[in-house]
Structure 1
Amino acid sequence: MTNEGNMNELKYAVIGAGAMGYRYGILLQNAGFNVDFIDAWEPNIQAVKEQGGVWVSRDHEGRHLVPVNLYTPEEYAGDPDVWIIFMKQMQLEDMLKRCSQLFKDHQVAFSAMNGWGHFEKINQYFSEDRIYGGTAIIATVLNGPGDVDFIGKPGTGSMHMCAMNEKVTDIEKAIAHDFAAANMNPEITTDFKGTCMAKIVFNSVVNTLCTMYQITMGQFMEFDGAHDMTKQLVSEAYAACDAAGIPMINTVDEEVESIEYASRVGNPLHYPSMYQDMIHGRKTEVDYINGYIARLGEQYGVDCRTHAFLTNGVHLAELAFQIHHQQ
Structure 2
Amino acid sequence: MKYAVLGSGAMGLRFGVLLQEAGFEVDFVDTWDKQLSTIRSQHGVYVSRDGQNKHLVPINVYSPEEYDGRANILIVFTKQYMLAELLDRCAHFFNDKHYALTCMNGMGHIEKLNQYFAPEHVIGGTAMIGTVLNKAGDVDFIGQKGAGSVNFANQTEQPDDVTQEVVADFKAAGMNPTLTTNFNGTLMAKVVFNSVVNTLCTMFKVRMGEFIQAPTTRALSVQLIDEAYDVCERAGIKLLTSRQEEWQQVVTVSQTGNPLHFPSMYQDLSNGRETEVDYINGYIYDLGKKYNYEASTHNFLRHLVHLTEFTDKFDVNGFINQVLEDDKASEQKVAAVSQ
Place the TM-score, normalised by the shorter chain, in its bin: over 0.9
* Structure 2 equivalent of residue 27 of structure 1: 18
User: Is residue 235 of structure 2 the alignment partner of residue 244 of structure 1?
Assistant: yes
| Aligned residue type for 2:222 | K
Q: Equivalents in 2 of 1:270, 1:77: separation in Å? A: 36
Indicate conservation of the 8 Å contact 2:7/2:30, yes or no. Answer: yes
* Structure 2 equivalent of residue 156 of structure 1: 147
User: Is residue 95 of structure 2 the alignment partner of residue 101 of structure 1?
Assistant: no
* Structure 2 equivalent of residue 7 of structure 1: none
Alignment of 1:303-322 (within 5 A): 303-322=294-313
Alignment match of 1:83 (pick from 53, 56, 74) = 74
Determine what percentage of the aligned residue pairs are the same residue. Answer: 50
Q: Equivalents in 2 of 1:110, 1:235: separation in Å? A: 29
Indicate conservation of the 8 Å contact 2:35/2:137, yes or no. Answer: yes
Could you say what secondary structure the match of 1:44 adopts? helix
Q: Equivalents in 1 of 2:98, 2:259: separation in Å? A: 38
* Structure 1 equivalent of residue 333 of structure 2: none
* Structure 2 equivalent of residue 215 of structure 1: 206
| Aligned residue type for 1:12 | Y
Could you say what secondary structure the match of 1:230 adopts? helix
Alignment match of 2:172 (pick from 167, 181, 184) = 181
User: Is residue 8 of structure 2 the alignment partner of residue 36 of structure 1?
Assistant: no
Q: Equivalents in 2 of 1:101, 1:310: separation in Å? A: 39
* Structure 2 equivalent of residue 132 of structure 1: 123
Could you say what secondary structure the match of 1:323 adopts? coil
Unaligned runs of 5+ in 1: 1-9
Could you say what secondary structure the match of 2:222 adopts? helix
> How many residues are aligned here?
318
Q: Deviations over 1:58-90 (max 9, x none)?
A: 000000000000000111124111000001011
User: Is residue 181 of structure 2 the alignment partner of residue 190 of structure 1?
Assistant: yes
Alignment of 1:65-84 (within 5 A): 65-84=56-75
RMSD over aligned CA atoms reads 0.9
Which one has the largest radius of gyration?
A: 2
Q: Deviations over 1:100-122 (max 9, x none)?
A: 01111111000010000001001
| Aligned residue type for 1:215 | V
Q: Equivalents in 1 of 2:234, 2:69: separation in Å? A: 44
| Aligned residue type for 1:23 | R
Could you say what secondary structure the match of 2:4 adopts? strand
Indicate conservation of the 8 Å contact 2:69/2:94, yes or no. Answer: no
Q: Which moved more, 1:265-274 or 1:315-324?
A: 315-324
Alignment match of 2:114 (pick from 96, 120, 123) = 123
* Structure 1 equivalent of residue 193 of structure 2: 202
Deviation at 1:190, TM superposition (A): 0.3
Could you say what secondary structure the match of 1:284 adopts? coil
Deviation at 1:21, TM superposition (A): 0.1
User: Is residue 287 of structure 2 the alignment partner of residue 296 of structure 1?
Assistant: yes
The TM-score normalised by the length of structure 2 is 0.93
* Structure 2 equivalent of residue 271 of structure 1: 262
Q: Equivalents in 1 of 2:14, 2:102: separation in Å? A: 13
Alignment match of 1:45 (pick from 32, 36, 42) = 36
Indicate conservation of the 8 Å contact 2:6/2:76, yes or no. Answer: yes
Deviation at 1:303, TM superposition (A): 2.1
Q: Equivalents in 2 of 1:320, 1:269: separation in Å? A: 26
* Structure 1 equivalent of residue 314 of structure 2: 323
Alignment match of 1:54 (pick from 45, 50, 54) = 45
Q: Equivalents in 1 of 2:236, 2:292: separation in Å? A: 13
Could you say what secondary structure the match of 1:306 adopts? helix
Q: Deviations over 1:126-157 (max 9, x none)?
A: 01000000110000000000000000001101
Q: Equivalents in 1 of 2:205, 2:69: separation in Å? A: 41
Q: Equivalents in 2 of 1:293, 1:300: separation in Å? A: 11
Unaligned runs of 5+ in 2: 320-339
The TM-score normalised by the length of structure 1 is 0.96
* Structure 2 equivalent of residue 280 of structure 1: 271
Deviation at 1:285, TM superposition (A): 0.3
